[in-house]
Amino acid sequence: MAHPSGKLLEGVFAVSKPPSISSAQVLRDLQHKFADSKTFAPLLEQTNRAREEQERHQPKRRKRTSDDQIFKMGHGGTLDPLATGVLIVGIGRGSKSLPDFLGCKKTYETVVLFGKSTDTYDIMGKVVAEAPTDNITRDMVEEKLARFQGKMKQIPPIYSAIKVEGMKLYEYARSGKELPRQLESRDTEISECTLLDYYAPGEHDFRWPVAQATEEERAVAQKLIAGAESTKQLLGQEAKPARQRTPTSERYKDFRESNNLPPEKKAAMHTHDLGTLEAEPANAPAARIRLTVSSGFYVRSFAYDLGTACGSYGTMAALVRSKQGGFTTVDPAPEGFVPALTPEDLEAGEDIWGPKVAKVLGKWVETHPPPSTGNRIDDRDRPEKDYRFKRSERGSGWKGGGQKRTWNDRRHYGSARQPNRRNSSSPSP
């Protein structure tokens, strides 16, 4: 068994997210794994003390809505269920550093499969459109990729967790509801866009999903996609006024109800079936591409846009986030990068993952020491004169003190030579 060092460990580290589960579920699994560990026993003790102290001083404060919130923990950027790779995790004080990683550049390796489009822009969805690929060649893909490099406007995919008027985009898509307003574009930048491999038909093993959208589903998807395309043409023009926002009580109803579910049911909600793929590889070209991009970039939208640029359709068939910040899944890790914990490390037990995460967090604590409370001024240490009323150097007003003024206190309302002024709300003398 791993032996506790007695050192309080907190900070930022990274795990390699496996496919099929959400980023939120990764955090839930880590919460329970760490709560039962010796590595994080000091942090758990401190967390429980702080929570008890808070409940004593603020008994009416809202209690936690979920038993999954053991430690203060968050991640530095969501990965789609299909995607794998670097998921940065902040625990304890490290969670405050996560915005720095949300805004940093990220490196992905993705595979774009040409010839079809799905409602999700990846192979987890249902096929909604098809187009020929006879004209697509390696030279064409390289030529089109060069146009993507640099700053650009990007419309998020219709199947994403971005909220419009309090409702997630994929909820509009699944329900067939019309979007209340045009999708907002995002300023993004691609600093690297490199074709790593080009596969002609018969040279790869990537496959299309078996699921085919119904005519009704195709119509809904085409309508939403058309809306996104029209938004691209309207960029820079005045947007239509947004509809009235959904009441907060309704917007967060599903969130509150999901928090009250048992852990196993909650995990089932965040474990996604990657879908059934066709038995034979797709008879279509594919390209493996490395992208280094800015914050807010959607690789699925890039796959769709690349397919359109090549005169066909494109669908994301694979995605790995290989680098983010100073963390990587590349083995061996390049100089200056810290390897992410793998699913195999976490499954092997604390004897394996404990020393690895302790090494990373130990360095973080050294470079981010907790704030010292030794020099804080306690009210009891303040000079007595700080608490006395003091005559202002300008005029005859008073300042300091914090005592409540009364109607009969003439010091605050003029001198003895002038009677206090009264208004309609003044009490009778």
> Each residue of 135-187: pLDDT tens digit?
999 999 999 999 999 998 877 666 555 666 565 665 665 555 666 555 666 78
Please tell me the predicted confidence (pLDDT) of residue 250. Answer: 52
Mean pLDDT of 179-206: 86
Q: How far is 146 from 140, CA to CA, in rounded Å?
A: 10
CA angle (176 as vertex; 174, 178 as ends), nearest 5:
125
Q: How far is 201 from 85, CA to CA, in rounded Å?
A: 27
Structure tokens that stand for 290 in this block: 């490395």
Instruction: Out of 244-248, 260-264, 348-352, pick the least confident.
Output: 244-248
Structure tokens that stand for 256 in this block: 């509150």
Domain boundaries in the chain? 105-159+184-211+275-324, 383-412
Candidates 80, 119, 122, 305; catalytic one: 80
Please tell me the predicted confidence (pLDDT) of residue 417. Answer: 47
Please tell me the predicted confidence (pLDDT) of residue 203. Answer: 97
At 306-337, the pLDDT tens digits run 999 999 999 999 999 999 999 999 999 999 99
Supply the DSSP symbol for 18: P
Strand partners of residue 107: 292, 323
Architecture of domain 105-159+184-211+275-324: 2-Layer Sandwich (3.30)
Structure tokens that stand for 326 in this block: 């100073």
Please tell me the predicted confidence (pLDDT) of residue 275. Answer: 77
Query: Which residues does 325 contact at the CB level (< 8 Å), separation at least 6?
Result: 14, 76, 88, 100, 101, 104
3-state class (DSSP) for residue 11:
strand
Mean predicted lDDT score pLDDT of the chain = 78
Is 189 buried (19+), middle (13-18) or exposed (0-12) by CB count in 10 A?
middle
Are 357 and 371 in contact by the 8 Å Cβ rule? The answer is: no
Please tell me the predicted confidence (pLDDT) of residue 6. Answer: 78
Please tell me the predicted confidence (pLDDT) of residue 122. Answer: 93
Instruction: Out of 2-11, 139-148, 255-264, 416-425, pick the least confident.
Output: 416-425
Query: Which residues does 254 contact at the CB level (< 8 Å), separation at least 6?
Result: none
At 278-316, the pLDDT tens digits run 999 999 999 999 999 998 898 999 999 999 999 999 999
| Banded model confidence at residue 231, pLDDT cuts 50, 70, 90 | very low
**134 is an active site residue:** no
Number of helices and strands in the chain (H, E): 12, 16
Query: Where does 283-415 have alpha helices with state H?
Result: 299-309, 343-348, 350-367
For the chain, the residue count is: 429
Please tell me the predicted confidence (pLDDT) of residue 65. Answer: 52
Q: Within 10 A of 128 (CB to CB), how many other CB atoms are there?
A: 22
Nearest CA to 339 out of 85, 69, 55, 3 is that of 85
Please tell me the predicted confidence (pLDDT) of residue 427. Answer: 41
Structure tokens that stand for 317 in this block: 């068939």
